[in-house]
Each structure stands twice: as C-alpha cells, then as structure tokens.
Amino acid sequence: MSDMGYENKQVRETAKLLHDEFQKLHDKKAILRSPRLSALYGHLKTLPAGEMRAAFGKEVNKLKADLEALVKKNNAVIIPLTPIDVTAPFDINLSPEQRPDLMTSKESSIHPLTREIEVILDIFGRMGFEAVESREIDDDYHMFGSLNFPLDHPARDDYDTFVTDEGLIAPAHTSTMQNRVLKERVNQLKKGKAIRAVIPGRVFRNEDLDARHEHTFYQLEGVYVDEGINAGHLIATLKVFLEEYYGQKLKVKTQPFYFPFTEPSFEFALSCPFCKGEGCHICSQSGWIELLGCGMIHPNVLKAGGVNPQKYTGFAWGGGIDRLVMMKYGVEDVRHFHSGNLKFLRQFS
Amino acid sequence: MKVSISWIRDINSRYQSSADPMPGGIDELVERIGSQLGAVDELIDLGKKYKGIVVAKIISCEKHPNADKLSICLIDDGGVVKGVSRNKQGLVQVVCGASNVRAALLVAWIPPGVVVPSTFDNDPLVLERREIRGIASNGMLASPKELGLGDNQEGILIIDEQLKPGSLFAGALGLDDYIIDIENKMFTHRPDLFGMLGIARELAGIQGHVFRSPAWYRHNTKLPNSNSRDTHPLRIDNQISKLVPRFMAAVLKDVKIKPSPNWLATRLAAVGVKPINNIVDLTNYFMLETGQPLHAYDYDKLKALNPKSKHVSLGIRMSKHGESLSLIGKKEIALQKGGIVITAGNIAVGLGGVMGGSSTEVDNNTKNVVLECATFDMNTTRKTAMSYGLYTDAATRFTKGQSPLQNTAVLAKVVEEAGRQAGGRLSGKIHDDNHLSPSVVKSGSLHSPVKVAPDFINSRLGLQLLGSQIEKLLLNVEFKIIKDGNGLVVTAPFWRTDIEIPEDIVEEVGRLYGYDHLPLVLPQRDTTPAVKNQKIMFKYRLRNLLASAGGNEVLTYSFVKEALLKGAYQDPKDAYHVRNALSPDLQYYRPSLVPSLLEKVHLNIKSGFDRFLLFELGVCHVKAVIDSEGLPTQLNRLSVVTSSGQKDLSAPYYHARQMVEYLAERLNINKIEFRPLTPGLKLSKQWEITAAAYEPYRFAAVVAEDAIVGLVGEPCISLRQLLKLPTATAMLELDIDILHQKSSTSSYKPLNKYPETSQDICLRTDIDMSFEKINKVVSDETSKLGSKYAYQWGLKPLDIFHKKGDSLHKQITWRVSLVHNDRTLTTGETNKFIDELAKEVHVKIGATKV
C-alpha cells in the first residue's frame, strides 16, 4: 500500500490517511468502517454520470479492496514474539524513564461487593463472630444431606443448582459450610465456648440473567450455637447488627417460613432504612425490606455436625450481599458486578 | 395458595367451626397472616371486578325486528341504577343475543358505564348505551364467560337463587370476596394448608380462636353404605403400594352431567379454577376445601377400553418407556420410566397424582363415573411433574405429601354431594386399597405422640408460657394432649404430616403465639475476642496493596466457556464440566483466573481506558487436584492483568514482573526469583494448566525458597487474538496461600552512623548469559568481599545495554554501595573493592569490566 498507485489525488490522500489510521487501530477490521472511506463513496454519488464518475468509482473500489487485503494479511500473519530474558529486572537498552513504573492509586478501586463483605465481617467480628470462607464447589452431603434435605425431597425444588458431570454441586447457599463449621468447633463447644461464625461466599443459582437476577452472587451465613440459645436471641442479634450497619434504630419483623435446615424458620424484614419506613422506591413503597432467611438450627443438622441437640441449641441465617450493595449505592443493574467494566468499578474507591 | 375469605367464613358458619376470621378488617388479617402464617403475595378485592353489576328480572322479551338472533328485553332492576333511560314503567331496554333469554328470568345486568368483568385485568371494556340494528340497548345481559365464571358463552347466566331485582350481583353470588394469595413455599411441609379447611383452622389458631373441623371431616371412618346392587363392578390392582399407600375409588351410576349451580361455579372461579361440569367441579371443590385431590373417570369409557372384561379394572403401576398418553386438554405425551400411571386393563389412562387422561374424561354424555381418591408419593409426583412440566393443582398438593388418613372422609363427602348435585347413586361398596401400617390406622395419626415439656418450648423461644397457655394454643387447632407429669404428650391430628419431634411443637406454639411477641434479648457472651481469620486478613492486605499500585479490583464468573479454555491451550478435560450450564458460556469451572481477567481487557480499551491494572482474588479448580476432604481443592489465587492501548518500549512482561517485585517487597518475602520455564522445571498439574495461557519464552515462574508462588508473563498468541488484546498486555497469577506462608512482618536494622559510599560497575558479558546468572555471581562475590573487609554492602542493577553492532555482548551496570560500621570509607578503599570484584567476576564467568 506504500506505493498506493492511485491516479486520483483525493483517493491518494485519503489512502495515506487511512494507512496511518490502520497502524493505530487495535481492531484492524474497523478500518473498513472508517468515515474517510464512506466519505469517498458519498462523494462518488454526487458526481455526474459519465467517464469521470466511472474512473473515480473504480479507484475507490480498488482502495477498498486494498484495505480488505491489508486486514486479511494482518490477521493471518502472526509475528512471533522474540524471547526475552525473564530473569532481568527490566528490558534491555531502556533508560530508567523508559521503563514501566507502578501506577498511582489515583484511579484505583476496590470492588463494592468485597468492600461490603469487609464492612459486614468487621461488625460481626466486633460482635464476637469469627469469619469462615465458603467453597465454590461442594458435594451433595454438605449442600443438602447434612442440612436435613432428604434425597428427591421437594424442598430441593427451590434450589436450582449447577451440577458437574461428577455430581459435584455449585453451592446455592453458604449453608453448605454449616456442617463443617459445627464439626470443627464441637470440641470448643464442649469446653463451654459458644460457636459463633459468619460465612461469606460466592453462591450460584441456575437462573437467567437480567437486571435483577444473577446466577452468581454473594451471601453471608451466620451460625450461633450454645446452651440456651432461643429464637428471641436470633431476632435480637440480627437487629443489633442491622442497626450498626445502617447506623440507625430500626424496626424488624419476621414471617414464618419453611427451610428444611431450621425449625422454626423465618423470613426476616427490617423497616426501610432509606425512608425510615415511610415508603420509597427502594422498599417498593411498603416501608419494609425483606432481607434474609433465618431460624433455629434443626436438631438433625446439629446432630450431623456432632452437636448434641438435647444440650445445645442454635440459630442460623443467610442473606444476600449484592442486594445490600445495590440498595446502598443505588446500583440499578446486578450485572454490573461481574462486568469488569471500569466505568462501574472506578466509582468505588 | 389462593385463599377465599368468603369460603373461610362459609366453613366457619356452616359447620359452626369458629369465629369470624377477620374481626379487625382485611388489612389487619393480611398483616397477621404475614407474621404468623406466611408471606402474602397479593390481596385481591374481587368485589371491585363486579362493581356496578346488578341482578335484574326480564319482564318482557320480544324478537328484534331487524335481526333473527337478537331479542329486545325490558328488564326490572328495582330502579337502583341511576342515569339510565327507562320507559314509563321504569323498565330498561337491553338487546340480547343469547338463545336462552326469555321473560321471567333473573339475570346479571352490566349497565352502561360498568366494566365487563372478563376484561377487568387486561384492557377493561366499559359498556356504553348504543344502538344495535336500530334499537337502543343499555349495557348487556351477561354470560358466565363475560362474568369471568367459566368458558360458557352460549347463553346468559341464569340466576336460580331467590333474589330481589336490584340486588348487587357480587353480594348475591358470594363474589364480594377478598382473595389472599399466600406464598406456596411457606407451606412446603404443610399439605393441610392447601385446603380452605386447613387455612380456616390456622386463621382461627393464630387469632386465639377455637376451631372445630366439620363432623364429616373429623369422624372420617364411616363409609356410606350402598343400597343399590353393584351393577358396575370395579377392581383395583395396585402394584406399587409403597408409592401409592392408599387408593380409594367409588362408582356412581346414573349421574346427570350439567353445569354446576352458580354458588359452586362462582366459588371455584373466585380462586382461579375454571368450572367444567357438576362432577368435575365437585372433585375440584373438595380438593380446594380439604387439600385432597380427586379424579373422576367415565366408567363406560374405561369399560370400552377392555370390552371383553366384565368389570373395570383400574391398575396402578410405574410408567414404561414407549407408552403414550393423551392428557386432559388433548396434550399427547410420550411416557418415560419412573412415573406413576393409572391404567384400564393395561392401557395408561392417567398420570397418577398429576393429571387424568382425555380418553376417559367425564363429558356431557357421561352416565356413570368412577371417583378416585388416592395418595401418591410426594417424591415420585415431584419428579413426574418436573419431567413433563405439568405443575397442576393436584401435583402441587401431592408434592407436599397429603395425609392418607383423610381419604375416607373426603370421598364419602364427595359421593354424598354428587348424589345431591348430579343424582348419582353408589354402585356397590367404596373400594379402599389400603397399605397403611396398622399402628397408623389404629392411632389415627401419622406419627407417634410427641412428649414435650413446657420448659423445653420456653427455652427455645425465650418465653415463659404456662403449660395451660401452651395447651390452649394447641387445642385450638385440634391437637390432642395428655398431661404426663411436667410434660405434655401431644398427638397431632390426622391431617398433620409434619409433627414428629419436640422442635415441631416449638414451631407450632411459637407461630400460634406470634413470633412478633418474642422478647428481643441478646445472647450472653464472654469477653474473649473472636478469632481473626488470618487468610481473610491477608486478602484484605493484598487488596489494599494492589489498589495502592493503581489496581482496579474485578470479580469475574467462576465459570468459563470452552473457547476460552482452548484459547488458553487449557485442556477442557482438566476442568470440571457443568452438566446443566445456563449457557455454553458458563460450561466449565475455570482452572485458572488469568483468562477470565484477560476477557475484560478489550471492552475497557474500547471504552477508552488507556492504561489499567485489573486484579481479582478468586478460586479455581483443576481436576485431579483434590483436598483432604476428597473434594476439588479450592486454589486461592491472585491474578493481575496490566494492559495499555499505547505501544510501550518495554516488553509488557516487565510491567507484570514489577508488580510481583512490589508485592514481594511489601509482603517482606526476601528471596524471590524469576525462573524461566525451561523444560527442566517440572510443574505440578495446577501450574501446568495455568502456564498454558502464557507465551513461551516470555514468562517465568515466581519462586520463593524453592516453592512456586506463581507465574508471570505475557498472554499466548491465541488468547491475544481471541480476546483482541493489545500488545502491551501482561499478567501474573499467584497462589495466595503460599504467598501468605512466605510473607513476614517488617524487619528493622539500626541506621548506619557513617555515610555510605557508592560506585557503579559495568560488566560486559556474553549476550546469551541470563541476567540472573551474572547477577548471582556479582552478588556472591560482593558478599564475599563484604565479609572480608567487614563492609555492609548493597547492590542494585542500573542498566542493561546492548551496543549496536555488537551482536555478541551486552553490558550490565550495577551500583555498589558500601558502608563501614566504625568509619567513613575512602575513595581508595571503594576503588579497591570494585577492582577486586571485577577481577573475581572475570575469573568466574569471563565478564570484563568496561
């Protein structure tokens, strides 16, 4: 293309500009969509019919064909990268100014979900809960069996889980860690030290994506087992956490619910902290936000964890973190979280 | 579960079961249901839909002069509707096209300005006064379909109840009702709450009222006797009694099939069930009332399937592959194994627990019917409903595990009502194929009595209820209680399937008492601090370090597509494959993090971000890498990708390498090496698959004390093409746990009292010799000399230079800094040190000082 070989001056000049443009493009194919090229075709249409127009048309078509060939050539030819000395601290023949330097923290960001988990774990840490991370792949026993879900039980309907060829499960709730948390701490319990743990983690549901639904999201599970723990303790504990989290007094309420792993089970709601319960778009004008599921740990779950349900009782809860963050910042689309889009991420310092 | 308040009220008054369910009005009731029964999805004020419709009497009915099929009616509405034109007698003229219209009928009149109920929810149609073929018509006389009460539009609805013209239609037919839709999920373990009777009981219970079930339901052991001969013999052949523990059936002969009376049709329609005919409607009615699904077959159609047999034989067996069945509504399904089918002879006529077949359904010509009242296994019903996508009302109920102890009562009641509504008589006895355990039959309860002490209940709820209070709450909903010392022996009524252990009684008492009355007290705890999770703390530290270096934290999915694995030269066989992936994009658990991050580069370059550093802390899994539990090891990884749209002079590798050095320094990992991945360096499975994504000869293993911490380098060409990566892209992936192990806290050396002197040394070496090799010699020799002279020393590479024209050599410059503890070093001493160093290095590797 260096030679160009175009008769028409206008085509020749455009070809040169396009050539420069081509060098700068990442997506080389984009050159074919350059406004410079379409301008030539636009000009062609304005010419009176006749020999001149035909000649000009021929030239423009040739330019287009040349560009196409160039794109093709550029994609096909892979320039192998030369070996470098990876043991060297910097590249050869570069002055210190030409070497890469660390970026500044000016435009850095921490993901709002991991940041929020940090905030939440901090509060629970102060309340005496240790943190345990969840798994991203687990077996049926931990996801269902140890949680009092009989095989083929309809209660499993509410958990559309992803399953691998081997029958391993992408956990649909952080409760998948409950059995482990109990087993690992049953000895401390016997020595009179309560089990208090929160479990943050990534969970998965076989659910189509839209602005409000994600197949991948974050949950926080909590477990408290000791002698004499009751349902009033559960509600009071969640209430003080939420009041600390939102920095205001809140009203809370429970609705009876069904989970196989707790008895009794509740859905837990708090008065909307954004409108003080008056009704706003965040709480759909109801004044209440349903936030999490909770209940007293089923004796079968305690037993599976090696804990004697005659002597000890406990409560557990689980709730989504994504929604907390969406409400807190007014994030309109849950898909932003995993988009990797810097326009989104850089808003969270 | 759609609950009709009229229906509940009707049960309470008809059977003297309980007090008014909503003494404080509808809003209070809905709130109470929310806090003590389950989440309310929706409250529907059905009366609104019928607002303005009145009962009218047709006084005269004459042929329309200009249309054969139309009639002109004069109707009497008692004068209640305002603003409508009337004749001298006060009658209103309406043109009607129904064939069954005639004088003296009581009908539903929709006056002008009123919405047609069938259009209420979508695009409401408001009637107007208009001329029909030249005759003025005021509104319409409505058909059941127009009233949203079924499909019948052949004629107008005829009101057979004794009503005064001008009565409000909704009130007259029980349609001034509230429908409360309660979330089904709440009732997963409560099959009894899929019937109005169960809901009525529960509504009484949560308001502290006594509830008594109707006598026909409570005393459920008596079967009606047949006075007539068994002219229509039936046999039951149950081959799967484990899955169908009870199968009851009755034959009713000489039934007259017709539309149901209005009260019945409107009751069904109010909760969204379409009225069909009197027999089918009765089976639905009692399903809705008790939660027990029923099915009606046409006896003669069953018989016709096996004409040679003297009797009808209903079989119950597992479905076979290759069978087919035409369901009600004429949907054909090819049966698979594993479901329950009902057969006539050996021909499948119904999908047990889910849906009946069309070949034996009751229609207008049916004379004799078989009524089935059976109990199907919940798990099998669930699987069947799921595999055919048939989430019918019956399946919804059976999947909750209906009690097999109510079948007699329900079937006996339906037989009785069918006699009244359809004139059918029982042929022979009622059949009861019963496989329940004798102890269950004897006790009349599905589970053994539960012994529980009030203290146990109080300790779990944080309450101080008296034994008598607890008893009252349970007796209100018909539990049986015997006192035993301090404890209560509680027997659940026969419809309760969920009361097995003391905790179930705790739930019952807590809910009936009201969880919103529990005292909110925090648990007592000692002042021992909670254990800090060091792994999580370490991740916080990494996150902050990366953000300090300008990083942007991203989260990417744990699942990747096959094309990405292949692009990274990662064998899909080494990654866990998700068999029910949402889309091909999410088919594999990722075996390393880097490709997921690289996937996010192009979109950001395209949106105009010039230079950035993305990082993620995540986990990945590699097949054959198994942890102590025998499960896939959670490989905790930190991955970083740097990219720039601009061309850089430096190879991108050094950007990423610099990040590793930065992290190592900040984490106080002292000895870190970058080893080229020559064939000599054998990698473990998890690093081998991670390494595949890197460009050969342009990446290195990060090694600390002989342990691989991770990899750093540039993406392979196929990834660069697949993901349209700019040339200036590099990446690293480190194992967080190993990084954590190798990191240490800051160490401190006292500051020097004497100034440091420094001098540069430039050595020319063979171009192919690696920097590391030369550097090691220089460093070792500096160290030896340092010991010899008792100098503290420092060494820093400054420059690597390749002189144009000299293709055989390169020159490397270091700055050597020296300090002595007791005095200031002279220039002579420094020069001597450098000269000796140069000499030693020359001896070792032939490098010459420039």
ipTM confidence: 0.86
Q: What share of chain A is helix, strand, coil (3-state, %, to 5)?
A: 45, 20, 40
**A118 reaches B (C-beta below 8 A):** yes
3-state secondary structure of A336: helix
> Are B470 and B487 spatial neighbours (Cβ–Cβ below 8 Å)?
no
**A123 reaches B (C-beta below 8 A):** no
**A97 reaches B (C-beta below 8 A):** no
- Tell me which residue in A106, A168, A298 faces B503 most closely, judged by beta carbons: A298
Which pLDDT tens digit goes with each residue over B832-842?
999 999 999 99
Give me the mean pLDDT over the B328-334 stretch: 89
- Tell me which residue in A86, A128, A158 faces B185 most closely, judged by beta carbons: A158
- Asked if A254 and B611 come within 8 Å (Cβ–Cβ), the reply is no
Lowest mean pLDDT among B419-423, B620-624, B646-650: B646-650
Whole-model pTM? Answer: 0.85
pLDDT at residue A206, rounded to an integer:
86
> CA dihedral defined by B609, B610, B613, B614, rounded to 10 degrees?
30
**DSSP letter (8 states) at residue B558:** S
**B519 reaches A (C-beta below 8 A):** yes
Domains assigned to chain B: 2-47+178-213 (3.30.56.10), 51-172 (2.40.50.140), 234-436 (3.50.40.10), 450-516 (3.30.56.10), 534-742 (3.30.930.10), 757-849 (3.30.70.380)
pLDDT at residue A205, rounded to an integer:
92
**A71 reaches B (C-beta below 8 A):** no
Domains assigned to chain A: 9-76 (1.20.58), 112-345 (3.30.930.10)
- Tell me which residue in A107, A128, A236 faces B521 most closely, judged by beta carbons: A236
Which pLDDT tens digit goes with each residue over B371-408?
999 999 999 999 899 889 899 999 999 999 999 999 99
Amino acid at B273: V
Residues facing residue A61 across a β-bridge: none
Q: Looking at chain A from residue 191 to 250, which residues have their Cβ under 8 Å from any Cβ of chain B?
A: 193-194, 196, 202, 204, 206-209, 215-216, 224, 226, 228-233, 235-237, 239-240
pLDDT at residue A155, rounded to an integer:
67
Which pLDDT tens digit goes with each residue over B85-144?
899 999 999 999 998 999 999 999 999 999 999 899 888 999 999 999 989 999 999 998
d(CA A193, nearest CA chain B) in Å? 9
Which pLDDT tens digit goes with each residue over B679-725?
556 789 999 999 999 988 899 999 998 899 999 999 998 899 999 99
Rounded Cα distance, B339 and B321, in Å: 10
Which pLDDT tens digit goes with each residue over B808-841?
899 999 999 999 989 999 999 999 999 999 999 9
- Asked if A168 and B576 come within 8 Å (Cβ–Cβ), the reply is yes
Rounded Cα distance, B153 and B96, in Å: 13
pLDDT at residue A349, rounded to an integer:
84
Buried b (16+ CB within 10 A) or exposed e, A237-250: bbbebbeebbeeeb
Rounded Cα distance, B811 and A93, in Å: 10
**B645 reaches A (C-beta below 8 A):** yes
Give me the mean pLDDT over the B766-788 stretch: 94
Q: Looking at chain B from residue 472 to 501, which residues have their Cβ under 8 Å from any Cβ of chain A?
A: 501
CA–CA distances in Å: residue B757 to residues B363, B618, B786: 108, 46, 13
pLDDT at residue B478, rounded to an integer:
96
Query: Strand B431-434 relative to strand B246-253: parallel, antiparallel, unpaired?
Result: antiparallel
**A99 reaches B (C-beta below 8 A):** yes
pLDDT at residue A73, rounded to an integer:
74
Which pLDDT tens digit goes with each residue over B26-53?
999 999 999 999 889 999 999 999 999 9
pLDDT at residue A77, rounded to an integer:
47
Please list the pLDDT of chain A residue by residue as tens digits (349 residues): 445 678 888 888 888 888 877 776 555 776 787 778 888 888 888 888 888 888 888 989 999 988 888 887 776 445 557 789 999 999 999 999 999 888 999 999 999 999 999 999 999 999 999 999 999 999 999 999 999 998 777 667 667 889 999 999 999 999 999 999 999 999 999 999 999 999 999 999 988 888 888 999 999 999 999 999 999 999 999 999 999 999 999 999 999 999 999 999 999 999 999 999 899 988 888 899 999 999 999 999 999 999 999 999 999 999 999 999 999 999 999 999 999 999 999 999 8
- Asked if A111 and B382 come within 8 Å (Cβ–Cβ), the reply is no
- Tell me which residue in B462, B662, B800 faces A232 most closely, judged by beta carbons: B462
Burial class (CB in 10 A: 0-12, 13-18, 19+), B67: middle
* B261 upstream amide cis, omega within 30 of 0: no
Longest dimension (CA), chain B: 135
> Are A197 and A131 spatial neighbours (Cβ–Cβ below 8 Å)?
yes
pLDDT at residue A2, rounded to an integer:
45
Question: Chains A, B: CB contacts under 8 A, how many?
Answer: 330
pLDDT at residue B636, rounded to an integer:
98
Q: Looking at chain A from residue 288 to 307, which residues have their Cβ under 8 Å from any Cβ of chain B?
A: 290, 296, 298-299
Lowest mean pLDDT among A127-136, B488-497, B744-753: B744-753
Give the residue among B630, B21, B700, B184 at the shortest CA–CA distance from A166. Answer: B630
- Asked if B631 and A313 come within 8 Å (Cβ–Cβ), the reply is no
Which pLDDT tens digit goes with each residue over B600-612?
999 999 999 999 9
- Asked if B653 and A237 come within 8 Å (Cβ–Cβ), the reply is no
**A45 reaches B (C-beta below 8 A):** no
- Asked if A98 and B695 come within 8 Å (Cβ–Cβ), the reply is no
CA–CA distances in Å: residue A170 to residues A204, A217, B143, B588: 6, 12, 54, 11
Identify the closest residue of chain B to A299 by CA–CA distance. Answer: B503
pLDDT at residue A24, rounded to an integer:
60
Check whether B423 has a pLDDT greater than 80: yes
pLDDT at residue B226, rounded to an integer:
65
Which pLDDT tens digit goes with each residue over B443-480?
888 999 999 999 999 999 999 999 999 999 999 999 99
- Asked if B649 and A91 come within 8 Å (Cβ–Cβ), the reply is yes
In A95-182, the DSSP E strands lie at 130-131, 162-163, 169-170
**B611 reaches A (C-beta below 8 A):** yes
Candidates B582, B593, B767: best to mutate against A (most CBs of A within 10 A) is: B582
Give me the mean pLDDT over the B347-373 stretch: 95
Buried b (16+ CB within 10 A) or exposed e, B439-473: ebeeeebbbebbebbbebbbbbbbbebebeebbeb
- Asked if B523 and A100 come within 8 Å (Cβ–Cβ), the reply is no
- Asked if A340 and B34 come within 8 Å (Cβ–Cβ), the reply is no
Q: Looking at chain B from residue 294 to 313, which residues have their Cβ under 8 Å from any Cβ of chain A?
A: none
pLDDT at residue A88, rounded to an integer:
94
d(CA B283, nearest CA chain A) in Å? 25
- Tell me which residue in B460, B536, B611 faces A296 most closely, judged by beta carbons: B460
Chain B hits for A168, Cβ within 8 Å: 576, 631-632
Which pLDDT tens digit goes with each residue over B282-317?
999 999 999 999 999 999 999 999 988 889 999 999
Give me the mean pLDDT over the B163-186 stretch: 90
**B651 reaches A (C-beta below 8 A):** yes
**DSSP letter (8 states) at residue A8:** S
Please list, in sequence order, all residues whose beta carbon lies within 8 angstroms of the beta carbon of residue B632, skipping any fewer than 6 positions away: A137, A168, B576, B589, B621, B622, B623, B625, B626
